[in-house]
Structure 1
């Protein structure tokens, strides 16, 4: 651990009131939801950073990797990892990381997981600690997928890799101590988008459905203008400006934003989709559309577990190393998965 990381961790352990005084003097509150002080401090420290939209994509990709690395938590005790590649859809190789817990339960299905990042940033390290929490709590294997990023690889490269990885997981789950011929999907932000899309696409193509879908602060609708996109448009850690920039990098010109491979929330008929755990963050431009998708799935007869964490921002699964609320939420979500699997 570097000296800077040691100092950072010390600061985050200061009393909440002192952190707030150091970070602007008053709590950050929107819609009556007060941001956790540790996260307010991170937002305050980054208040003068240039917007992502003003930088070249390669610079943003490197900067996000460095910043998240500074704040990253270690993986959970008793979880082992293995890095390898699987065949991609375009003669490419998809890097993946397999997480296996000690005392693995052979009845728990493989979870194929997709990291956040708007389809533009992120990699296997982005969700490293979080995937280990999932494996440790559920006692099942987790396969994290390093899908291709834009703008180097525009749509549909990322979602194509993700679909391919899910289908590979279904075929190979038994090799990793999980039930054969099945897998679940999960992800946060863009990874949640991919997971919702895969669940719908498998249904449309009459292919094996995911056992369940874990959607964490998912981006599900690029068409509707939900109020949270304005009310939380300048909040930490995701702004509406950054979301728009992500889409500019991710999509070809003049793309139809209602395409089901981009906006699963635009799908009218949701009956028969896999059981869903949908998690939203209170300080997040995406919170309204995630809450709305949970309600629509419930109305369609889908089994849904839904919770919004009002003190947390977008991307909180990456903040478990310094944010008490983020770690508590992630442990709770992992137990939601464990409970759902036990009832399948």
Structure 2
């Protein structure tokens, strides 16, 4: 039993979470087009931050579309009818630490290429992070996570390539997955006129938060499929292989689009996430893009059946990389998505990957983005350290660990309790068939969303 003062520390964090929901929760229910306009807007990079914007051109042929479509169908259980996959140029931003300037220093008025050169002069490590932002699949952009990516770049002494992936509902699955593949291949095999030189896969870590973390894990499963099939792709005129990167590092990654795991009920009071997805709520304000035309049951999944596809909900994957699998980092609050993270950590571990799982108790989804508390600093340190070690000291990531961070009164604000992973059951007792049954039950309840229900005037 925790001392009374430690219980008070838990109550304090829960009170902060509830206040956030009360003060900011309404933002999730504003029109989707308004949320997109606000969160995708670029901003000047002020202070000790480099931001260099560029476009990674899509290949002129459809080889990427063919490869991804084949993978989706190969991993299918009959859910891929009427799938539409499109290719587009990918907008990205290089993000890094800018030395020798104060916090109010304005972004220099030089070319984007010169900004990139400045970023590279301040880069001291080979660590390159491809970062996929979150935002419930329909909001966010590089500027919205610049504080995150510049911090990771500073702590790793490396650099981040921040993806501006296409957003739902206009561009649902698999559009963002295609964008991530184009960005990854562009790092490995730079197109003509690119700012950057070729980067080896051993120097690349794929990272992201929330729905961006979901995209990262879906990408891992896509790469696994390519590895198993020995897939090669014609990329800008060259037939290229698609290797694994050095590692995957996610924060609060969504793994289950059906919201079926027990923690959705158990951890309700610790989280900022409501019972019903905001886009399916009766209090959201509809607009010209949502409900979609034609209407559907999920903003990211183009069909209800695809919701349980492993490249949409990675928890449903029958297999995880087992031949030289990249190491994996998971971190969560005591949130509704916690159990799906624990389950994915277990599945990756059982397949042979080295896994680190950090669980920050009494804290909500993406807490580190909205709270300046000791756990936030700790999370960023652990996240960056893992990314750096994947590149610079991979031999030291040779075992799996599960850490639970409990809030305490007084400094340092929490205590860390390491758990022995054992055979993987310490992550979770949930088994694969049980998970599929839970997901299938929720999928059957999902209905096409035509907009908020009108209230009776009686």
One fold, TM greater than 0.5? yes
Q: What does residue range 78-93 of structure 1 map to in structure 2 within 5 Å?
A: 79-88=49-58, 90=86, 92-93=88-89
The structural deviation recorded for 1:141 is 1.5
Structure 2 equivalent of residue 259 of structure 1: 309
Distance of aligned partners of 1:332 and 1:37 in 2 relative to their CA distance in 1, 3 Å threshold:
farther
Distance 1:264 1:50 in 2: 28
- Calculate the TM-score normalised by the size of structure 2: 0.59
Match of 1:126 among 144, 149, 158: 144
Distance of aligned partners of 1:312 and 1:224 in 2 relative to their CA distance in 1, 3 Å threshold:
closer
Distance 1:114 1:230 in 2: 28
Distance 2:14 2:143 in 1: 24
Match of 2:217 among 196, 203, 210: 196
Q: Are 1:325 and 2:360 matched, yes or no?
A: no
Q: What does residue range 1-344 of structure 1 map to in structure 2 within 5 Å?
A: 35=13, 38-46=16-24, 49=26, 52=29, 55-62=30-37, 77=48, 79-88=49-58, 90=86, 92-101=88-97, 103-108=122-127, 110-172=128-190, 176=196, 179-182=199-202, 183-206=204-227, 207-223=242-258, 225-233=260-268, 236-242=271-277, 245=280, 248-270=298-320, 271-272=322-323, 273-282=325-334, 284-319=335-370, 322-344=372-394
Deviations 1:255-306 (A, max 9, x none): 3222122122211222233110111111x21111111211221122101111
Structure 2 equivalent of residue 10 of structure 1: none
Distance of aligned partners of 1:179 and 1:91 in 2 relative to their CA distance in 1, 3 Å threshold:
closer
Q: CA RMSD in A?
A: 3.2
The structure whose Rg is larger is 2
Deviations 1:311-334 (A, max 9, x none): 4321234226x4553244223322
Paired residue total = 303
Distance 2:172 2:87 in 1: 16
- Calculate the TM-score normalised by the size of structure 1: 0.76
SS in structure 1 of the partner of residue 359 of structure 2? strand
Distance 2:267 2:255 in 1: 17
Deviations 1:118-172 (A, max 9, x none): 2111111221101011110111111000101111222221222122212222224
Distance 2:177 2:87 in 1: 15
SS in structure 1 of the partner of residue 305 of structure 2? coil
Deviations 1:54-99 (A, max 9, x none): x432133346679xx9xxxx8773x422111112474533221102
SS in structure 2 of the partner of residue 125 of structure 1? helix
Distance of aligned partners of 1:38 and 1:326 in 2 relative to their CA distance in 1, 3 Å threshold:
farther
Conserved? CA contact 2:333–2:362, under 8 Å: yes
SS in structure 1 of the partner of residue 144 of structure 2? coil
Conserved? CA contact 1:140–1:178, under 8 Å: no
Deviations 1:195-251 (A, max 9, x none): 111112112112211210012111112357211112334754322412664972222
Distance 2:365 2:126 in 1: 32
Conserved? CA contact 2:249–2:383, under 8 Å: no
Conserved? CA contact 2:251–2:331, under 8 Å: yes
The structural deviation recorded for 1:27 is 7.6
Q: Which 10-residue stretch deviates more, 258-267 or 222-231?
A: 222-231
Distance 2:134 2:278 in 1: 12
Conserved? CA contact 1:278–1:305, under 8 Å: yes
Conserved? CA contact 1:147–1:158, under 8 Å: yes
Conserved? CA contact 1:217–1:286, under 8 Å: yes
Structure 2, unaligned runs of 5 or more:
60-85, 100-121, 228-241, 282-296, 395-458
Structure 1 equivalent of residue 429 of structure 2: none
Distance 1:275 1:285 in 2: 24
SS in structure 2 of the partner of residue 261 of structure 1? coil
Distance of aligned partners of 1:327 and 1:178 in 2 relative to their CA distance in 1, 3 Å threshold:
farther
Q: Which 10-residue stretch deviates more, 308-317 or 259-268?
A: 308-317
Distance of aligned partners of 1:135 and 1:158 in 2 relative to their CA distance in 1, 3 Å threshold:
same
Distance of aligned partners of 1:75 and 1:113 in 2 relative to their CA distance in 1, 3 Å threshold:
farther
